[in-house]
Amino acid sequence: MSSALQKLEEFLRLNPSVDFIRFQWVDYSGVLRARFVPTSRCLRIANGRSAMCLAQNSMIIPISTAPVIFSLSDYHETWNLLPDWSSLRICGTNANHATAMCFVDQKDAELEFDKCPRTMLVLALRRLEREWGAKVLIGFEIEIVLLDDSNNVIKPMDRLNGYSRIAGLRAETLDLVEEIVSALKKASIGVHHFHAEVRDQLEIALAAEPALEAVDSLVLAQEIIRTICVRRNLKATMAPKPTFAGPSNGLHLHLSLAKVGRASADHFLAGVLSHMGSLCAFGMANYDSYARAVSDAAGAWIGFGTDNRDLPVRKIDDAHWEFRMMDSTANPYIFTAAVLRAAMDGLANRTELTWRDCKFFPHLLDEKRRAQFGLDKRMPATLKEALECLKKDTAIETWIGEEEDLLKWYISVKDREVEEFGKMANEQRRLRFLGYF
């Protein structure tokens, strides 16, 4: 409590204009949630004189059924919210607001924080460093489509019109992105670059950071992007399928592995590829995510290749990869932790990298040629298929560990999403996703 109070008091001393701190967390559906708390109460929470309690719809509410929840408990649960005061930062869009990412704990659970996504990532990072002496740097690429108030793609005179073209970034859209980058800077979030991705789509790549800070930055960056756009009467959507005819949105995770040799890096990558189907259930975490299980997105075949964007893993160098099997419907703490746990399974078992570096377009290769690169298994084509991979993955029991209940609750939410979204018409489902992502 003393340390927490000291961190908060020092932050408020350096930022005297802050009146409110947003206690933020991400639920199992990948939705950012927050409580806006006056600093006077924050000080009481930090020194243990007050607490923040949440109802059960704080974590386990499928977006397909909201506001109706489907809990595995037969009683009304209470969840406790514990701010990580070391994550404090200015929110970037409101001068008198700051943010703190939080741990969540189900009251009366047998193990503390066993259902907390942020705890899952913290424990994975500790194990990676303790057992393998390794650390990771992570950065994210955020793909965005801008919609008007009727949920249609905006059509300015200067329209985004192709990969890394200047078109679309000469007028008001450039002003918008510059305002976003300025707000990100205020929130201590670095930008690697931004550019036009394809027609009607932007990409903002965040600078690399230590893993936990990088995920915190991603969560805040997405909210900053949405806020700046709303103030201009625009909707910045990161939903995987924002329109029927336009681009699909991904959220790519760049990971650099430090302090390991080439052989260990190969085992690390092999662990990820060996559990790819299961990882898709965490990264491509909803019904329409699998519109991206195609070339030039998440890929149709399990494998990797140097600078190959037609596979789920793009190799940058021997210990730097881009994991493309992720979108904004993922809980980024769970997905990042799952990638690390799968990779550590590869390290522990010295899993052989049976896949070869494929620099070709997989869809142009015949079956025999694909097999030479280890491209003999397709990516899951639906969330239901990915969940089946996850449920059958016996190794998960060893690398999920104390988060076994988190996995059980997570799967229950996703099973419900498969069932309920499958009943919806395409436009109804699209609008539901746009309301959240």
**Percentage of residues in the chain having pLDDT higher than 90:** 74
Q: Is 118 part of a structural domain of the chain?
A: no
Q: Do 178 and 275 have their domain in common? A: yes
Taking only the tens place, the pLDDT of each residue in 247-280 is: 999 999 999 998 776 768 999 999 999 999 999 9
Taking only the tens place, the pLDDT of each residue in 317-358 is: 989 999 999 999 999 999 999 999 999 999 999 999 999 999
- Closest residue by Cα to residue 297 from 340, 330, 327: 327
Q: Is 161 part of a structural domain of the chain?
A: yes
Report residue 383 as tokens.
């969330």
Q: Looking at beta carbons, which pairs linking 49-55 to residues 24 or more positions away fall under 8 Å?
A: 51/80, 52/23, 52/80, 52/81, 52/82, 52/83, 53/78, 53/79, 53/80, 53/81, 53/107, 54/78, 54/79, 54/80, 54/81, 54/104, 55/79
- Could you tell me if residue 92 is left (phi over 0), alpha (psi between -120 and 50 degrees) or otherwise beta? left
Among 66, 81, 112, the domain-final residue is 112
Sign, Cα dihedral of 279, 280, 282, 283: positive
Q: Do 167 and 306 have their domain in common? A: yes
Q: Classify residue 43 by burial, with Cβ atoms within 10 Å: 0-12, 13-18, 19+.
A: middle
Domains contained in the chain, number: 2
Beta-strand (E) ranges in 56-154?
78-83, 89-90, 97-106, 135-147
Query: Does 1 have pLDDT greater than 60?
Result: no
Q: Do 335 and 362 have their domain in common? A: yes
Q: Is 64 part of a structural domain of the chain?
A: yes
Q: What is the pLDDT of residue 280?
A: 97
Q: Is 119 part of a structural domain of the chain?
A: no
Q: Looking at residue 75, which CATH number applies to its domain?
A: 3.10.20.70
DSSP labels for 1-59? -HHHHHHHHHHHHH-TT--EEEEEEE-TTS-EEEEEEEHHHHHHHHTTS--EEEEGGGT
Please count the residues of the chain.
437
Taking only the tens place, the pLDDT of each residue in 405-423 is: 889 889 999 999 999 999 9
> What is the amino acid identity at position 77?
E
Q: Do 286 and 229 have their domain in common? A: yes
Report residue 14 as tokens.
């350096």
Q: Do 276 and 167 have their domain in common? A: yes
Q: Looking at residue 233, which CATH number applies to its domain?
A: 3.30.590.10
Please, are residues 336 and 215 in contact by the beta-carbon 8 Å criterion? Answer: yes
Q: Is 117 part of a structural domain of the chain?
A: no
Range(s) of the domain holding residue 381 = 124-435
Query: What is the biggest distance separating any 2 CA atoms in the chain, rounded to whole angstroms?
Result: 67
- Closest residue by Cα to residue 145 from 223, 40, 229, 62: 229
Q: Do 25 and 63 have their domain in common? A: yes
Q: Is 204 part of a structural domain of the chain?
A: yes
Q: Do 235 and 178 have their domain in common? A: yes
Q: Do 217 and 327 have their domain in common? A: yes
Model confidence at 71, in pLDDT bands (50, 70, 90)?
Answer: low
**Look-up: residue for tokens 């992502």?**
437
Among 112, 146, 174, the domain-final residue is 112
Q: Do 146 and 104 have their domain in common? A: no
Q: Do 10 and 137 have their domain in common? A: no
Q: Do 93 and 140 have their domain in common? A: no
Q: Is 163 part of a structural domain of the chain?
A: yes
Mapped onto helix, strand or coil, the DSSP state of residue 125 is helix
Calculate the alpha carbon distances from 240 to 202, 224, 236 in Å.
Answer: 13, 19, 12
Q: Do 107 and 128 have their domain in common? A: no
Q: Which residues of 255-288 are buried (b: 16+ CB within 10 A; e: fewer)?
A: bebeebeeebbbbbbbbbbbbbbbbbbbbbbbbb
Q: Is 164 part of a structural domain of the chain?
A: yes
Among 112, 137, 168, the domain-final residue is 112
